[in-house]
Amino acid sequence: MPIFILPFPQIDPVLIEFGPFVVRWYALAYIAGLILGWRLAFALAARPSLWGTRTPPSLQAVDDLLVYMALGIVVGGRLGHIVFYEPSYYLANPTEILAVWHGGMAFHGGLIGACVAMVLLARIHRLSILSLTDIAAIVSPIGLFFGRIANFINGELWGRPSDVPWAMVFPRADEQPRHPSQLYEAGMEGLFIFIAIGLAAKYGGLRRPGLLSGLFGVLYAIARTLSEFFRDPDPKSELLAGGLTMGMVLSAPLAILGLWLIWQSIYTKTEA
């Protein structure tokens, strides 16, 4: 047991409550990630010099991207949680499928939903799908950062028991001091990936189709896998054989796809 344990900040998950009207930090995290990401995407599309000979998405397409991504993330994230983590529970309780206020969103499901949304948008605007995914690769870490901070405020998805000096006791878990793994994920999946891909974009990454998309896939898979060693998995829905977790397994194909996209972008003969 550590001699000193950091107190868990008791922040009410509900920011504002007025009768039936409730504003939660978790909802604000999604809204902040989407709006800030949209503004950055708009700025990127408005700078042709970053794209070389590639044609950036139109500003109208970027406007539409916010709506499509929001729907794709919410629907995909919810379905991903149901299919990947708790299929038996939702088969027995189908009315809970729409009860999103009870929690239950999966990143990998949200990613799939977002990709489907971008494919549809690319067809509508007759764009290269990689022009949209490359922009999404830059802006997505913003939403990941705010989402993990919201997980921390809610006191959910806590870490494994630990004796590190910064361990915390999460009231919704038990009396054991634990890693604040939500903050680790905010740093790795959010800040680190945002900085890395932002630098890649600044120094010519948008000139090669798929490079930033692939970089995001690889970096997220690494960050998520590392964070799984500190996050306490649900033994019923997340913990797999051999010490693996569902998050690790779902990240493996993302890493493979990311490496393939990077390889394709490097060895393509043109930047168009």
For the segment 53-95, what is each residue's pLDDT rounded down to a tens digit? 999 999 999 989 888 988 998 899 889 888 888 888 888 888 8
**Cα gap 193→7, rounded to integer Å:** 29
* 33 close to 146: Cβ distance less than 8 angstroms: yes
For range 19-27, the mean pLDDT? 71
Which H helix or E strand runs over 71? Answer: helix 59-80
Highest mean pLDDT (candidates 30-44, 96-110, 199-213): 199-213
For range 7-28, the mean pLDDT? 72
161: nearest Cα among 148, 149, 173, 146: 173
Distance of CA 160 to the CA centre of its chain: 21
Structure tokens at 56: 């950036």
pLDDT at position 3: 53
pLDDT at position 272: 40
For range 192-198, the mean pLDDT? 98
Percent of the chain predicted with pLDDT > 90 = 55
* 64 close to 117: Cβ distance less than 8 angstroms: no
